[in-house]
Each structure stands twice: as C-alpha cells, then as structure tokens.
C-alpha cells in the first residue's frame, strides 16, 4: 500500500511540474515576441534595486497596514515552502520528517518558526478577505477590480487559508501520535501553534489520528501543486515575474527619456540647419519604426510588465 502511495505521489508531482513548466515556456515565448532592449545602468545597481524592491518589499510601506500583512504572506510563502522539500522526499521514499535526521535540534526550532509564520499567514489572509468582501474598501471596487480580478484574489486567499489550516492540523495530529508513540511518528518538531488544537484530538484513536494526519498531508501538498498549476493563469504570477521585472526596470533618473536615434538626429538638424541632413542615416541601416503597430514592435520588457 505504501509503495502504491509513493508511485501515486510521484505521478502527481511529475504531472504538476510538467504542466507548470509548459505554461511558463509559453509565457516566456510570448514575452520574447517583443523586440530586443538595450539596458542602461550597472548590474550592481540593478541587483540593489532587486534586493530593495522585490526581495525586501521596499514599496509595501506606502500602505502600512496592507504592506505589513503582505510582507507576512510573502515571507510565509517563501519560507514555509522550504518544508515542501521534506514533503517531496517523504512522499517519494515513504520517509517521515526526513530533515530531522540531518538538522537535529534545529529542526525543532524550524518547525516552530514555520508554525508561527503559518498562523500569521492565515490571519493575514482572513483580514485580506474581510477588507475585500465585508469592509469593501473603495479601491477594491473600481471597474478594473470586478469579475475575474476579484474572484482570482478571493480564490488565492481562500486556498492560502485552507493550506495553512491543513498544515497546522497535520502537525497537531502528528504531535498527538508522537505523544502516543505510534508507529513511525518519532518525536520531532516544536508545535507552539498546533498544540492548541490538541484538546480536540485527545480522545481520538491512533487510526483516526493517522487518517487526519495523512489526509492533511495529502491536502497540503496537492493544494500546493494545484496552486503551482493555477499560478500562470492568475495575477499572482507576479510572485515570480516581479523579480525579472524589477531587475530589468528603468533605473535611470526620473524624467530622463530614451529618445529614438532618428528623432534625436532630426531635432538636432532643426536646431542646426547647417548640419548634414544625411549624416543621421548611414547607408544600409534600416530606420527604427516609430510607435508600435504589432506586438513585435513592443519592447519585450513591456510585454512582461503587461
């Protein structure tokens, strides 16, 4: 039975990964339909902007409340998914809490920290749902935020709540099984949040606890893989595209324009009529098109931003 479970997990994991990669390749192909772009600025400056804006969430301070909640969800999303490494290994090879044998005491601290983060993400997502659907903040009810954009945001928030709830419930059942010294449930991990769920599980049999733990384990990982497959269709794909988008953004001084060479030469000719009118167009060089009549005339960075 365990062998069948491992094979089933491998099939689901491979299918989700292949589907996601195929969609990313399609998006990448569409982005590079645009024309090439020459970037100005030092790479070090671009990396500084990337760390400050994309990784450090530097722009989130403009709206302190929403920014703080967003950072909690962002950090939680990045760090809690480190546990996915352990889930994948456990799912493929039938192990349980695989990382414990390598991390020892640090594993306990890590799980405890993940639980606090998971609870923070859960609370933040509930607040976001209340702000969008009950308080009904004005900026969420413009024409551009109706229909799919609204539904998309709610779907993501509800999924996050369910995933974090499953994670905490899984740990609670696991903790109770550890206390009962059941089967292969070794004592591993600290459970500062899921411990509050233990009173609800104290009278459950070992078989029931194993079912709850396994159900939440499968729900958690399938939910994550489902989220992965859904991501390319969602506005939340910015979780990934934000990084190249910020790196390749315009880091020149505000107000500085990148003028077309042909236009700039014509302006110089107007300012100095004695200049050679043919100097601006070297022989054999095709003049750059002005504006955009098709997607191929747009910079690929503009398509990525869109």
Cα(8)–Cα(25) distance, rounded to whole angstroms? 26
Residue 288 lies in a domain: no
- The predicted pLDDT at position 65 comes to 79
Residue 86 lies in a domain: yes
What number is the average pLDDT over the span 276-285? 56
pLDDT at 268 > cutoff 80: no
Cα(166)–Cα(213) distance, rounded to whole angstroms? 9
Residue 96 lies in a domain: yes
What number is the average pLDDT over the span 33-57? 80
Residue 301 lies in a domain: no
Residue 305 lies in a domain: no
Residue 271 lies in a domain: no
Residue 262 lies in a domain: no
Residue 182 lies in a domain: yes
Q: How many domains does the chain have?
A: 1
Domain that holds residue 47: 2-247
| pLDDT band, very low/low/confident/very high, at 287 (cuts 50, 70, 90) | low
Select from 93, 121, 74, 76 the least CA-distant residue to 242: 74
Percent of the chain with pLDDT over 70: 88
pLDDT of 160-211, one tens digit each?
A: 999 999 999 999 999 999 888 887 787 888 889 999 998 999 888 999 999 9
pTM of the model as a whole: 0.80
One-letter-per-residue 3-state SS of the chain? CHHHHHHHHHHHHHHHHHHHHHHHHHHHHHHCCCECCCCCCCHHHHHHHHHHHHHCCHHHHHCHHHHHHHHHHHHHHHHHCCHHHHHHHHHHHCCCCCCHHHHCHHHHHHHHHHHHHHHHHHHHHHHHHHHHHCCCCHHHCCHHHCCHHHHHHHHHHHHHHHHHHHHHHHHHHHHHHHHCCCCCCCCCCCCCCHHHHHHHCCCCCHHHHHHHHHHHHHHHHHHHHHHHHHHHHCHHHHHHHHHHHHHCCCCCCCCCCCCCHHHHHHHHHHHCCCCCCCCCCCCCCCCCCCCCCCHHHCEHHHHHHC
């Amino acid at each position: 039975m365990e062998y069948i479970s491992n094979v089933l997990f491998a099939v689901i994991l491979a299918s989700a990964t292949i589907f996601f990669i195929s969609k990313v390749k399609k998006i990448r192909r569409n982005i590079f339909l645009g024309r090439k772009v020459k970037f100005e600025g030092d790479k070090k400056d671009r990396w500084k902007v990337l760390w400050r804006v994309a990784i450090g969430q530097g722009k989130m301070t403009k709206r302190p409340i929403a920014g703080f909640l967003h950072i909690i969800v962002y950090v939680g999303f990045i760090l809690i998914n480190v546990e996915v490494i352990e889930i994948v290994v456990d799912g493929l090879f039938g192990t349980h809490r695989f990382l414990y044998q390598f991390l020892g005491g640090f594993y306990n601290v890590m799980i405890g920290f993940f639980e606090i983060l998971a609870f923070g993400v859960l609370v933040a997502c509930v607040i976001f749902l209340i702000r969008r659907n009950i308080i009904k903040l004005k900026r969420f009810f413009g024409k551009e935020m109706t229909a799919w954009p609204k539904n998309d945001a709610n779907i993501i928030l509800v999924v996050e709540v369910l995933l974090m709830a499953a994670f905490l419930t899984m740990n609670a059942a696991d903790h109770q099984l550890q206390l009962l010294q059941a089967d292969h449930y070794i004592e591993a991990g600290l459970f500062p949040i899921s411990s509050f769920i233990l009173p609800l599980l104290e009278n459950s049999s070992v078989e029931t606890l194993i079912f709850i733990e396994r159900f939440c384990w499968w729900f958690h990982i399938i939910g994550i893989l489902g989220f992965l497959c859904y991501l390319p269709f969602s506005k939340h794909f910015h979780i990934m595209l934000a990084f190249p988008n910020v790196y390749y953004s315009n880091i020149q001084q505000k107000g500085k324009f990148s003028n077309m060479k042909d236009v700039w030469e014509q302006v110089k000719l107007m300012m100095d009529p004695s200049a050679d009118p043919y100097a601006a167009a070297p022989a054999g060089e095709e003049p750059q098109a002005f504006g955009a009549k098709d997607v191929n005339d747009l910079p690929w960075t503009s398509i990525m931003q869109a």
